[in-house]
């Protein structure tokens, strides 16, 4: 019996480790490739297009040749009104985010990414998918103050890089909200493979326009080195990250996922200062990021509590606390996704989406699914 319990738990921690390793590795790898001080390939749009082209090609073979996944019923109307705008903002978020690596450190970028809940909440309120709330607003204010303090303490503060990163964050936030508003209202669910199949080629086309105007002339006149194995391994890591997120969403609870994300950020900040010595962290950086992180943790707690409260029947506080603990504890060994509706068709708000900045294709139904499936099972 103990073996049956321990094996899924070991797998869960293994998937979390793989996710943290790949997510951190892709970010550090991108920084190394783009940085003029290291591999010196200062063409972020080209790098992003390589990722999109590779991911789209792999998805095509998985869907059309190997029949690993079944394509959804895609009409021209759905493609024009849903896939194209989502792909446009997805491409924009990756373009601006990768360009930021040229100007600011990985550590400072991770600190700025604490603004993601703020951006998503603002976009959700503007699009009518969320309502203004005093408690959430106070958390957003705390996050913003923390990021401002962290920015003030940044030794190598760069306005251009900061603007690129913040713009990328808001583009990704709008992409998340559009995914909910456009795809979910039409009842369309995309798993990781079908997401790449539809969105990656479209994002590649969108990126071609700025690439042709901004980077093609630079490639023509400069001596840019191109190493096939470097770019192949880089694109392969980005693709593997997409699938690791799929595994993590499938085997862990909502709180565990969020804690893993916070842990990954701290690991990234520490690793980046070792790998890239020019990345200097000040005490004010840490204080500001800690303040912002407090706001993010409180925000995550509010959102998880809201979802669970909407799923649980009216009951006393002690019983609810006990059940909340059981939901999180049991989620790692009960939930095994067996069809595409488990991933990517969430009914929760966009601000509850689990994603990663390097692989933000799949909105997660994890929170709503957690409440749905666990309530239908007896507590053992």
pLDDT per residue over 312-351, tens digit each?
A: 654 444 454 444 444 444 433 333 333 332 223 332 334 4
What is the distance between the alpha carbons of residues 321 and 85, in angstroms, rounded to a whole number?
Answer: 41
pLDDT over 90, % of the chain? 46
pLDDT of residue 106: 93
Q: Does the structure show a pLDDT above 60 at 236? A: yes
Q: Cβ–Cβ contacts within 10 Å for residue 111, how many?
A: 28
Q: How confident is the model at residue 368 (pLDDT cuts 50, 70, 90)?
A: very low
User: What percentage of residues in the chain have a pLDDT greater than 70?
Assistant: 79
Average pLDDT over residues 19-41: 93
Compute, in degrees rounded to 10, the torsion defined by CA atoms 331, 332, 337, 343. Answer: 70
Tokens at residue 229, please?
Answer: 């194995």
Residues contacting residue 298 through CB under 8 Å, at least 6 positions apart: 139, 142
Q: Looking at per-residue confidence, does 379 or 3 come out higher?
A: 3
Q: For residue 174, what are the CA distances in angstroms to 122, 131, 207?
A: 9, 16, 18
Structure confidence at residue 352 as a pLDDT band (50, 70, 90):
very low
Q: What is the DSSP letter of 341?
A: G
- Least confident range from 26-30, 216-220, 301-305: namely 301-305
DSSP state of 180: I
The string of pLDDT tens digits covering residues 184-216 is: 778 777 888 898 999 999 999 999 999 999 999
Hey, what are 45's tokens? 């749009």
Pick from 9, 3, 17: nearest CA to 329? 9
pTM of the complete model:
0.80
pLDDT of 90 reads: 94
Q: Give the pLDDT confidence of 46-58 residue by residue, as tens digits.
A: 999 999 999 999 9
Per-residue pLDDT reduced to its tens digit, 262-289:
888 889 999 999 999 888 888 999 999 9
Can you give the pLDDT at residue 190? 80
């Amino acid at each position: 019996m103990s073996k049956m319990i321990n094996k899924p738990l070991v797998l869960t921690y293994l998937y979390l480790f793989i996710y943290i390793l790949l997510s951190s590795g892709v970010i550090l790898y991108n920084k190394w490739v783009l940085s003029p001080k290291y591999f010196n390939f200062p063409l972020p749009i080209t790098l992003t297009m390589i990722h999109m082209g590779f991911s789209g090609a792999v998805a095509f073979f998985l869907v059309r040749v190997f029949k690993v996944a079944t394509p959804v019923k895609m009409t021209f109307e759905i493609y024009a009104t849903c896939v194209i705008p989502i792909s446009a903002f997805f491409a924009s978020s990756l373009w601006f985010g990768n360009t930021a690596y040229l100007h600011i450190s990985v550590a400072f970028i991770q600190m700025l990414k604490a603004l993601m809940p703020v951006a998503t909440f603002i976009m959700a309120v503007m699009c009518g998918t969320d309502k203004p709330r005093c408690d959430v607003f106070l958390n957003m204010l705390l996050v913003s103050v923390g990021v401002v303090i962290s920015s003030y303490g940044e030794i190598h503060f760069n306005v251009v890089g900061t603007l690129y990163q913040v713009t990328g964050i808001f583009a990704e936030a709008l992409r998340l909200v559009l995914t909910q508003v456009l795809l979910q209202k039409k009842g369309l669910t995309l798993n990781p493979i079908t997401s790449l199949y539809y969105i990656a080629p479209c994002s590649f086309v969108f990126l071609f326009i700025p690439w042709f105007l901004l980077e093609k002339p630079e490639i023509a006149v400069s001596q840019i080195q191109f190493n096939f194995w470097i770019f192949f391994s880089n694109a392969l890591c980005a693709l593997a990250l997409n699938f690791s997120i799929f595994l993590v969403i499938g085997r862990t609870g909502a709180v565990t996922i969020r804690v893993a994300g916070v842990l990954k950020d701290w690991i990234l900040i520490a690793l980046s200062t070792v790998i890239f010595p020019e990345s200097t962290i000040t005490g004010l950086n840490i204080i500001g990021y800690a303040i912002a992180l407090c706001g993010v943790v409180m925000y995550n707690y509010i959102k998880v509590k809201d979802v669970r409260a909407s799923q649980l029947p009216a009951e006393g506080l002690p019983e609810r606390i006990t059940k909340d603990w059981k939901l999180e504890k049991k989620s790692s060994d009960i939930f095994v996704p067996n069809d595409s509706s488990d991933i990517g068709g969430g009914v929760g708000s966009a601000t509850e989406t689990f994603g990663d900045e390097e692989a933000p294709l799949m909105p997660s139904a994890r929170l709503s699914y957690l409440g749905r499936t666990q309530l239908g099972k007896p507590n053992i």
